[in-house]
Amino acid sequence: MKKVRQAIALMLAALLVTVLSSCGTRDRDPEDGQKKITVVTTLFPLYDFTRAIARDKADVTLLLPPGVEAHAFEPKPADMVRIDSAGLFVYTGKYMEPWAEEILKGTSNKALIVRDASRGIRLMHTAEKDHGEADNEDRHGHGDHGTYDPHIWLDFENAMKMVDTIADGLSAADPTNSAFYKENAARYKEELLALDARFRETLRTCGKKTLVHGGHFAFGYLARRYGLEYVSAYQGSPNAEPTARKIIALEKIIKEKGVRYVYFEELINPKVSELLSRETGATLLSLHGAHNVTKDELAKGSTFISLMDTNLANLKIGLECR
């Protein structure tokens, strides 16, 4: 947080430049002359949801550079200037972006609309997460979520609530187009409902119900929604190292339950998953948490729904669904 405070000081100095205070919140669309609101989002799901709702009425940017792991991200002074000069800032909540509240305290933009996308969502407590106790060394350090699991978007009912919160924020920042945003939000929620139906229909046919993940605990909401048993190598920071005891416990689960596939996640070193694969003979499969995307995924036009459909295809294989 010391780095954040220092960066805030730099941000405030930069914001003395009058151009930021005079024209930062809206940009003019050269085609129709209308002014667009500028929206800064932190994670890829928020970015993709916002684009689907705002369409051409807003300039939406993703704070995370492509390929950067979300838990390791620390905002730079330029990022803080972007937030301060926006019309709307959308983040996931203090358990996913612990730096956000400190930055917002230092903003000079009194017109900035802020939306915490976890508003109205019951967060999963860490006690609901894994089997057995978390290793103590996994509970602390950069990127640790602490008491609550912030990966709320992986329960698609939560994702629909996030869409409503974003539409509310867009309407507050741009009341003229409120009906447009609400209509698009309703349409996008229908897509999420269809996605949820595809998951439910497929996962109810699975021969296996145990999802073994060699990464940090990111898929608890998804597992809970579809009645899966979910075990991961560690809780907290994706950079944490699981203990030998936890690795042995996972190997035992894989062998006893006849699990033939082990999952790894995007943008995180898969060495633990690879170790489990070597020790048990299980095949590796990817599972995308959608925190962020790679440059290639962004260039190909990957969306939250397309990433989740790929997840479903890999879950169908790994859980031996019909």
Position 32 confidence tier, pLDDT thresholds 50, 70, 90: low
56 token code pair: 């051409």
How many whole angstroms separate alpha carbon 320 and alpha carbon 219?
A: 18
The whole-angstrom separation of Cα 74 and Cα 97 is: 9
What does the pLDDT look like over 265-300, one tens digit per residue? 999 999 999 999 999 999 999 999 999 999 999 999
In this prediction, what percent of the chain has a pLDDT beyond 90? 78
Q: What are the structural domain ranges in the chain?
A: 2-195, 206-318
Q: What is the mean pLDDT of the chain?
A: 87
pTM over 0.85: yes
Q: Kindly report, residue by residue over 235-274, the tens digit of the pLDDT.
A: 767 777 899 999 999 999 999 999 999 999 999 999 999 9
What is the tens place of the pLDDT at every residue in 75-115? 999 999 999 999 999 999 999 999 999 999 989 999 999 99
CATH topology assigned to domain 2-195:
Rossmann fold (3.40.50)
Q: How confident is the model at residue 1 (pLDDT cuts 50, 70, 90)?
A: low
| Topology alike, domains 2-195 and 206-318 | yes
Q: Are 254 and 276 in contact (CB under 8 A)?
A: yes
Exposure letters 77-103 (e unless 16+ CB within 10 A, then b): bebbbbbbbbbbbbbbbbbbbbbbebb
- Residue entry with tokens 């898969």: 270
Hey, what CATH topology would domain 206-318 get? Answer: Rossmann fold (3.40.50)
pLDDT digits (tens, 9 = 90+) for 303-317: 999 999 999 999 999
Cα of first residue to Cα of last residue in the chain, in angstroms, is: 49
